[in-house]
Structure 1
């Protein structure tokens, strides 16, 4: 079967890889001139399987107000007359209950854990390299209140058999020795030993090359104008490079997926949540992180990628704006300077922003649509890199008519009615 994948980010490329591996003829179309050049380009770098959690949770609306009042705030909101944004916010607020949080986190951990297994198998099969490290993730708590709420997450981790360790400051330093220099800045941490790190852009680029070796055809620099459907099926995708036709179509366009599918009568509650990152060279090895440290107060991830440190975070609701805002850089700099003051050269850091495709319940939208030959693989939010391999493998199974290895009954767009 010929399958057309729309999008060459980490989700689109992993989808193409698993489809080709299943024996399909695969074509990928993207407006960029290379794979992984938008949201996948400079994300935080962590493969946070156990840390996978929805933003919507009990108390989040109140926390959001407090975050807006912080000087180095993790959440930024730019009000605008945008019906899609208001609808998304309303749906997210409806998910801020204990019951919804547990349900949504369970879904996310299920996909993430499957992705961990899938990535391990992919590495074994191909030998792909992407500045990978398997040293766990440390969620660092600066306050007693943060420590007191650890049980909310560990209960779900226990349910899915995800190992975890609650550490005192000495244990945190054992996991991340450079923190000994700032031991007065934190009270403890939650370590997830199975979490990993890696460069998503490097992975996407190299997997695209491996996919080409399996016969996947990439049409890059081709802007998609629209999708044409007739009789309950997609019949063509229109681009400035001409029309593309296939037997099946996969929409993996991140935050741009809803606008592309809306003319077909498909309404996906996916909204762009803007994130920022800094990438700085390591200057002093013993003073740098060995894996990922999540600064819980500022919601910032500080990750080791080879000879670089990636600092990623901030949730900014600003539509499709990709402007680089100086205050966001200041927050990233503050966190890394506070925890790893001698680890990297902040003056030499590269500043970047990307749009994360977020659903109101945090769970990606993977599977069939109401059009017989159209499928989606989008809405992964901050966890596209974490969930990429599992999502791509599941989607390839669905397209192929095979039973996926995990439950996918609640991952499709049907859950939104």
Structure 2
């Protein structure tokens, strides 16, 4: 079967790899000149299944109000007359209950754990390298109330059998020796020893090269205009370079996915949530992180990628804007500078922003639609890198009419009807 994948970020490329391995003819279409040049380009670098948590959680509405007035705010809201933004916010707030949080987190962890296992298998099979490390993730708490509030997350980790450690200050420093130089208070942390890190851009490009060698065709510099329906199914995708036909079509366009499928009567509740990152060259390796640290106070991830430190985070609701305000860089520099002072040259850091495709319940949308040959693999939010291999494996099983290795019924768009 010929399968057209729309989008060559980490989700589209991993989907292409697994589909090609399953024996399908695969073509990937993207407006950019190469793979992973948008949201997958400079993300935080963490592969953290245990920290796969919904943004919508009990207490978030009150926290969000406080965050809006913080100097280094993890949440930034740019009010506008954007109906899609308002619908998304209302739906997200509707998921801020204990029951919804437990359901959403459980299915996110299920997919993320499966994805991590598939990534390990892929690495063993192919020898792919991408500045990877397998040294765990540390969620760092600067305040006692943060440490006291981890009960619901620990309960889900225990229920799903995810190994974890609750650490005091000394334990945090033992896990991340660079924290001995911290200029900020450290109360404790929650560590997941099985988590990994790696450069998503390097991974996606390396896997794309392997996919090409396996027969996948990449049509870059092709602007996707629309999906054209025939008799009850999609006939072809129209691009600025002409039509591309296929037997099945997978939409993996991140935040732009809803715009493409809306004319087909598909209401996909995915909205762009802007994130920022800086990439800092390391100048003192002994002061730098050894893996990934999550700064709970500012919702910032600090990750070691070879001879660089990637610092990423924040959530900004501002539509499809990708501008780079200096205040956002200040927050990232403060987080890494206060915890790992003099570890890298902040003056030489590169600054980037990307649009994370978020759903109101933080769970991606993976599966079929009411159109028989149209599928979705999008809405991964901040966890596209964490969930990529699992998502590619799952969508391959669904398209191939095979039973997926994990439960996928609650991942499809049907859950919003």
Same fold (TM over 0.5): yes
1:249-398, aligned counterparts within 5 Å? Answer: 249-398=249-398
Residue 140 of structure 1: how far off its partner (Å) = 0.2
Q: Structure 1: how far apart are the matches of 2:87 and 2:161?
A: 35
Distance across 2 between alignment mates of 1:233 and 1:240:
22
Aligned to 2:207: 207
Say which SS state the counterpart of residue 212 (structure 2) adopts. helix
> Is 2:179 the counterpart of 1:179?
yes
**Corresponding residue of 1:236:** 236
| Contact preservation (8 Å) 1:294, 1:301 | yes
Q: Describe the SS at the equivalent of 1:44.
A: coil
- Secondary structure at 2:406 match in 1: coil
Secondary structure in 1 matching 2:366: strand
- Give, in angstroms, the shift of residue 152 of structure 1: 1.1
Q: Distance in 1 between matches of 2:291 and 2:117?
A: 19
| 2:220 equivalent in structure 1 | 220
Partner of 2:129, secondary structure, is coil
Q: Deviations over 1:48-102 (max 9, x none)?
A: 1111001000010100000001011000000000111100001000000000000
Q: Which ranges of structure 1 fall in alignment gaps of 5 or more residues?
A: none
Q: Distance in 2 between matches of 1:146 and 1:228?
A: 50
Residue in structure 1 matched with residue 192 of structure 2 by the alignment: 192
**What's the RMSD between the two structures over aligned residues?**
0.6
Q: Within 2, Cα distance between the matches of 1:200 and 1:182? A: 28
The number of residues matched between the two structures is: 417
- Give SS of 1:35's match: coil
Task: Determine the C-alpha separation between the residues in 2 that align with 1:228 and 1:63.
Answer: 44
What per-residue deviation string (whole Å, max 9, x for no partner) do you get for residues 165-185 of structure 1? 000000000000010112752
Is 1:410 aligned with 2:410?
Answer: yes
Tell me the equivalent position of 2:133.
Answer: 133
What's 1:100 paired with?
100
Whole-angstrom distance in 2 between the partners of 1:76 and 1:184: 24
Q: Within 1, Cα distance between the matches of 2:117 and 2:231?
A: 39
Pairwise CA distance, 1:232: 2.1
Cross-structure match for 2:85? 85
Q: Is the 8 A contact 1:58 1:98 kept in 2?
A: yes
- Check whether the contact 2:142–2:184 (CA below 8 A) recurs between aligned residues: no
Offset of residue 231 of structure 1? 2.5
SS in 2 for 1:27: strand
Q: Check whether the contact 1:167–1:191 (CA below 8 A) recurs between aligned residues.
A: yes
Shift of 1:230: 2.4
CA contact (8 A) 1:14 1:207 kept: yes
Name the CA distance, whole Å, in 2 between partners of 1:240 and 1:152.
49
Q: What is aligned with 1:145?
A: 145
Structure 2 residues not aligned, in runs of 5+: none
User: In structure 2, how many angstroms separate the alpha carbons of the residues matched to 1:85 and 1:285?
Assistant: 42
Separation (CA, whole Å) in 1 of partners of 2:395 and 2:161: 24
Structure 2 distance, partners of 1:104, 1:325, is 32
For the 8 Å contact 1:169–1:183, the answer to whether it is kept is: no
SS at match of 2:237: strand
| Separation (CA, whole Å) in 1 of partners of 2:50 and 2:183 | 25
Using structure 1 for the length normalisation, give the TM-score: 0.99
Distance 1:30 1:124 in 2: 29
Report if aligned partners of 2:271, 2:357 keep a CA contact under 8 Å in 1.
yes
Residues 91-142 of structure 1: CA deviation (Å, up to 9, x unaligned): 0000000000000000100000000110011001100000000000000001
* 1:186 Cα offset (Å): 0.9
